[in-house]
Structure 1
């Protein structure tokens, strides 16, 4: 679900995949200016993703820095044949966030689901630093995604939230909330299908 949200917003930010691939080529050649440009293009979006998972600004800022350090150190691992630069860095960001969430420090804390009123999930996607057009696009898309979540059932929303915002596996969700594993899978599948339907209509509109 979260990947679908970020991908939807990302369509309006990844205006030029050729540009991103060129930046990655320059990063592989150890061009620090290219890394700075990539950071400027995506730091707001990635920070929003991290914050939605960790819920702590300081921790999220640390992970954001780790992400771009990893991009610099492991740029050679990006395979142009397997996807876009955008999907690669989003996957990298989510994986690092989930790893931190599952770390010893976070394991000691009780998992909490994301509230639909939690502005931290979407607010970092736009700020005064963006241009007016980009702000308008991001604000509008964030509201549409927020509203789409409200349109699916509470049970579907719950399992999707704890899975994608808290990094819980289907088995962990079943155990945590005492729900049959098959039921968890069904709710997640049906919820995803409903969200895709709602957001698909929104985008066409």
Structure 2
């Protein structure tokens, strides 16, 4: 699952019980619950969106859209299918990717999908040194783990997650057989999972 390798750098997630309580209140129209969720996850969501959009103004606009969407679609949250943390990040990623596919964004950004040096730098508009430290440490773990993958494995994972490309699109873009794309992604994710679980000793 492509979402896994970015979720692994998440920080300070609340307990499932607290998240369910927030969402029950939100579904009843309690705006203070939205404030609690925003305070808890704004840094993480901002960092994810910025990684995809690469622009401060675009990121801030998208961040607001994500929390408005959460408010409007709170009833769609099903705790039996996952936690709020994952639900929110999926929403943020989809919103950001939708923006990259817009005509205006494409006109202003000329993206190069060839990955020479993978970097993952946490970005936040908020100044909480403890959260910044944790983000930096976790991002460093992911960066280190990625260096243990082959360049080809890193490349397909990067464009799939951060550019929102499907496996078929990757196959067409890089002129790689679809089966090879699937294999590289599967192998890359398995290696990442093992490396992060082991604390990256290689």
TM range (shorter): 0.7 to 0.9
* Offset from partner CA, 1:110-146 (integer Å, 9 cap, x none): 433466464xx4322696325x3x4433221111111
Distance 2:18 2:5 in 1: 23
Contact 1:98 1:167 in 2 (8 A): yes
The ranges of structure 1 where at least 4 consecutive aligned residues each deviate by more than 6 angstroms after the TM superposition are none
Match of 2:159 among 156, 159, 162: 162
Distance 2:191 2:110 in 1: 29
Contact 2:49 2:92 in 1 (8 A): yes
Q: Which runs of 5+ in 2 are unaligned?
A: none
With structure 1 as the length reference, what TM-score do the two structures score? 0.86
Partner-residue secondary structure (3-state), 2:85: helix
Contact 1:27 1:35 in 2 (8 A): yes
After superposition, residues 1-205 of structure 1 pair within 5 angstroms as 3-10=3-10, 12-108=11-107, 109-113=109-113, 116=117, 118=119, 121-124=120-123, 128-130=127-129, 132=130, 134-202=131-199
* Offset from partner CA, 1:139-164 (integer Å, 9 cap, x none): 21111111111110011111111111
Name the count of aligned residue pairs. 199
Q: Which runs of 5+ in 1 are unaligned?
A: none
Computed over aligned residues only, the root mean square deviation of the Cα atoms, in angstroms, reads: 2.3
Distance 1:15 1:66 in 2: 22
